[in-house]
Amino acid sequence: MDSNEVLYDVIVVGAGPSGLAAGLELAKGNASVLILDRKQEIGCPKRCAEGLSNRWFDIMNLKPKPEWAVQEIKGAVLYGPNGKDVKMKSENALGYVLERKMFEKELAINAVKLGAKILLKHQVINAKRENGLVKLEVEVNNEVKEFKGKLVIACDGIDSLIARMLGLNTKNNLNDTDSGYQYEMTGISGYDENCLHLYFGTQVAPRGYIWIFPKREGTANVGIGIGAYVSNETKLNAKEYLDRWIQSQPGLKNGSIIEVNAGGIPVGGFLEKMTADNLLVAGDAGHMVDPIHGGGIGIAMEGGRLAAKNALRALKENDYTDKNLNQYTQEWFDTRGNELKRRLKSRHLLEQLSDDDFNYLAESITMDEALAIGNGTLSKTDMAILFTKKLVKRPGLVAIMMKYFQ
Amino acid sequence: MSAKNNSNKCLYCGACVGVCPVGAITLKDTRIFIDEKKCINCGACVTICPVGAMKLEKKI
């Protein structure tokens, strides 16, 4: 075994948005940081629809650049099961669809400029603690190398095993996971290229939705997320649902596919604890995803940065125990987790709705009201008013809503 | 019985790894490895696979 004598302050496993944001913050704080990734290229293959709203540009102090913020988005169109659509569009850009490969490479370049070191095609095969440090066994070029760190931040995605190797259970339950599949298509048309397009319905995408996220003229990410357990009941997988739907869309069915993506999406099942001795977890590995729309670039970056801040604190205090690190869990729930928990509640509500309920809501509820329900921010009184005004005609819906908003 | 991966269909996205309750699946480069000794034949990987690349088959 080849031994690497360097002792790093922090080893970040996974060079996605979360790991790179963590690496950037650590390097900024003058920690010695090594970022490992098992893949051969940063940002590729993506498991992502690449949308990022302005809110996250603000939170992460990012400025959109034309080389990776490739499509300005001014709104969204929601399509109900009966085909009726609700369009909300603003005059200004509300966000962008990214070319993630370019975006992440820029993050990587910035992290390295500040002093971080990145190694690709390095697969962690084992992690253990030794004398208060973490020792990673890493497979590279058919050899096993050793890397030592005071702390490890696991940002290794839904297939994270690093945290599990160090005793923190990050596995996903099927009920809290979506099955995702996507094509990047070109030569397609028939949709407003300044809007995101979301298609709902139990025949279209049970317990999820199909999306079109435009990415330059005539080109878009066309994808689907469905409840992971759905294929048990319907015998159709995410790919089959998406292929069937694309064939029904005249503007899409003759398009060409220039990239195929797949992935599991952790949409809930938040971890009660995101640390162990010498370990913090962030991004998909820490189940940091919005339970309603399944997006996670911004949330992952924010989580990675927060993990890094706590790592810097622990380095200063020279205390790498779980007890000291676990403040990170509390801070994450305060800044983001509790908001996502409310949205998970709303997701559970949406899952109860029938196609008729969806159609009715699309026709009767305003966008502001829908957003308030989605964010879980309606007070009981507001909810009561909404029930009386809009939902009296559908007592079934009232019953479902009461169940979830008590 | 044990889970089996069809590498022709597989897009090595790692969804199966994330839901395996016993950590029997690992993803290396573009290949899925299944530890037949650990596999409890629960089918979670078959259920989540977006492209139908996982099956439960008799151990050879």
- The answer to whether the CB atoms of B50 and A123 lie below 8 A apart is no
| Residue A61 resides in a domain | no
Question: Does the pLDDT at position A3 exceed 60?
Answer: no
Nearest-Cα residue of chain B relative to residue A285 = B18
Residues A293 and A234 in one domain: no
| Residue A393 resides in a domain | yes
Note the pLDDT tens digit of each residue in A226-256.
999 998 899 999 999 999 999 999 999 999 9
* Percent of the residues in chain A that have a pLDDT greater than 90, as a whole number: 75
> What's the average model confidence in pLDDT over B35-54?
96
| Structure-token pair, residue A261 | 């993506």
| Residue A10 resides in a domain | yes
Chain B contact set for A40 (CB, 8 A): 29
What does the angle CA B2 – CA B8 – CA B14 come to, to the nearest 5 degrees?
65
Domain CATH number, residue A202: 3.30.9.10
A44, A47, A125, A161, best to mutate vs chain B, most B CBs in 10 Å: A161
- The answer to whether the CB atoms of A38 and B17 lie below 8 A apart is no
> What's the average model confidence in pLDDT over A326-345?
95
Q: For chain A, what is the domain count?
A: 3
Whole-prediction pTM value? 0.92
| Residue A23 resides in a domain | yes
Note the pLDDT tens digit of each residue in A298-308.
999 999 999 99
Q: Using an 8 Å CB-CB cutoff, list residues of chain A that contact chain B.
A: 38, 40, 45, 47, 121, 123, 139, 157-161, 164, 171-174, 177, 179-181, 228-229, 231-232, 237-240, 260-264, 266
Three-state secondary structure call for residue A354: coil
Residues A158 and A185 in one domain: no
- The answer to whether the CB atoms of B47 and A181 lie below 8 A apart is no
Residues A142 and A85 in one domain: no
Domain CATH number, residue A141: 3.50.50.60
- Tell me the pLDDT band of A350, cut-offs 50, 70 and 90: confident
Contact between A21 and A116 under an 8 Å Cβ cutoff? The reply is no
| Residue in B11, B14, B29 nearest the CB of A158 | B14
- The answer to whether the CB atoms of B11 and A231 lie below 8 A apart is no
| Residue A87 resides in a domain | yes
- Identify the CA nearest to B52 among candidates B3, B41, B22: B3
Chain A contact set for B49 (CB, 8 A): 179, 237
Question: Which residue is it, tokens 């979830």?
Answer: A404
Residues A14 and A110 in one domain: yes
| Residue in A172, A262, A266 nearest the CB of B50 | A262
Chain B contact set for A271 (CB, 8 A): none
- Tell me the pLDDT band of A102, cut-offs 50, 70 and 90: very high
Nearest-Cα residue of chain A relative to residue B44 = A174
Chain B contact set for A181 (CB, 8 A): 50-51
pLDDT score, position B5:
96
Q: B12 in the Ramachandran plot: left (φ > 0), alpha (ψ -120 to 50) or beta?
A: left
Between A77 and A310, residue with greater pLDDT: A310
Note the pLDDT tens digit of each residue in A207-218.
999 999 999 999
- The answer to whether the CB atoms of B18 and A158 lie below 8 A apart is yes
Say how far apart CA A45 and CA A38 lie, in whole Å.
Answer: 12
- The answer to whether the CB atoms of A177 and B11 lie below 8 A apart is no
Q: Which of A266, A285, A303 is the last residue of a domain?
A: A266
Contact between A264 and A285 under an 8 Å Cβ cutoff? The reply is no
| Residue in B15, B21, B26 nearest the CB of A179 | B15
Task: Give the closest-approach CA distance of A222 to chain B in angstroms.
Answer: 14
The order of strands in the sheet holding A51-53 is A51-53, A95-98, A69-73
Note the pLDDT tens digit of each residue in A117-134.
999 999 999 999 999 999
Note the pLDDT tens digit of each residue in A172-181.
999 999 999 9
Residues A193 and A230 in one domain: yes
Residues A185 and A236 in one domain: yes
- The answer to whether the CB atoms of A123 and B19 lie below 8 A apart is no
Residues A184 and A279 in one domain: no
Q: Which of A222, A237, A266 is the last residue of a domain?
A: A266
- Tell me the pLDDT band of A325, cut-offs 50, 70 and 90: very high
Residues A182 and A236 in one domain: yes
Nearest-Cα residue of chain A relative to residue B53 = A237
Q: Which residues pair with A185 in a beta bridge?
A: A220, A257
Question: Does the pLDDT at position A376 exceed 80?
Answer: no
B2-57: in CATH 3.30.70.20: yes
pLDDT score, position A260:
98
Q: State the DSSP code for A285.
A: G
pLDDT score, position A277:
98
Residues A35 and A184 in one domain: no
Residues A307 and A168 in one domain: yes
Q: Would you list the DSSP string of A111-171?
A: HHHTT-EEE-S-EEEEEEEETTEEEEEEEETTEEEEEEEEEEEE---TT--HHHHTT---P
Residues A162 and A214 in one domain: no
pLDDT score, position A406:
44
The bridge status of strand A177-186 relative to strand A219-227 is: antiparallel
- Tell me the pLDDT band of A86, cut-offs 50, 70 and 90: confident
Size of interface A-B (CB pairs under 8 A): 91
Task: Give the closest-approach CA distance of A375 to chain B in angstroms.
Answer: 27
Domain residue limits at A279: 2-49+101-172+269-325
Nearest-Cα residue of chain A relative to residue B24 = A161
Average pLDDT, chain B: 94
- The answer to whether the CB atoms of B13 and A261 lie below 8 A apart is yes
Residues A129 and A43 in one domain: yes
- Tell me the pLDDT band of A4, cut-offs 50, 70 and 90: low
pLDDT score, position A367:
64
Give Cα separations from A221 to A182, A291, A372 (angstroms). 7, 20, 27
